[in-house]
Amino acid sequence: MAIATAAIGYTVNFVDTHRKAQIEKVDRQIEKLYGPLYAYSTASHRAWYDLRRVTDRGTYFFDSEDKHMPSAELVEVWRRWMRTVFMPLNLKIEAAIVDNAQLLDGNRIYPCFVDLVSHVESYKATLASWKDTDDLTDSKRRTKAANTAVIEYPRDLESCIENRLQASLKRRKELERSWTGLFQGEPESSVPEPCKCKNKDPNLSNIVE
């Protein structure tokens, strides 16, 4: 009986310790990764609508064939917003992913996140080409290629982030409720559909539609 009691006690402590470790990991995911990502992507989404509202450019700022190029004044507005609003948010999203990659489910970066990092890095080259002396009345300076990233923004990024945040919140609730939460996690081999980023909008260069 003494041996059985000790064995049961050891098992209980072992399982409870493992459960607490899992809760701590999920808490870090929410605090360091998915929570900040959701806040930054939501802010970027809102800023995009604000830019459309003040410029009245419709769904797209630049069209893929440059048939309706924005005026020099609008391109100047675009570049100002990109430098001061969108790129800082993009860099925060990139940093949250890169600096906390160890917290990703399955210890791998989702294709959607890879696309985002590639997009941000390619936009750095675009911004580096902009000069304060650029003559924006020159049509060559007002094209989509001259003002957007070569690698497009992943259209499903917000859906992926929200999916992962909600999954983490659900996982924490299950773990806190009982030990059975240890056996209710999502398979690490599965990748949520939004995180695969199969569908990209060719006209969407830097922000969520």
Q: What is the band of 15 on the pLDDT scale with cuts at 50, 70, 90?
A: low
Apex 180 CA angle, 179 and 185, nearest 5: 110
Distance between CA atoms of 152 and 120, rounded to whole angstroms? 9
pLDDT digits (tens, 9 = 90+) for 74-87: 999 999 999 999 99
The length of the chain, given as a count of residues: 209
pLDDT at 185 over 60: no
181, 175 contact by CB (below 8 A) = yes
* pLDDT attached to residue 27: 94
Q: What is the mean pLDDT of residues 101-118?
A: 87
- Among 13-22, 125-134, 152-161, name the one with the lowest average pLDDT: 13-22
pLDDT at 62 over 50: yes
Distance between CA atoms of 164 and 161, rounded to whole angstroms? 5
Q: Provide the token pair at 185.
A: 């996690």
Percent helix / strand / coil, the chain, rounded to 5: 70, 0, 30
* pLDDT attached to residue 199: 44
70, 61 contact by CB (below 8 A) = yes
Whole-model pTM?
0.79
Domain assignments of the chain as residue spans, ordered by start = 2-196
Percent of the chain past pLDDT 70, that is, above it, reads 77
Within 10 Å of residue 49's Cβ, how many Cβ atoms?
12
pLDDT at 183 over 70: no
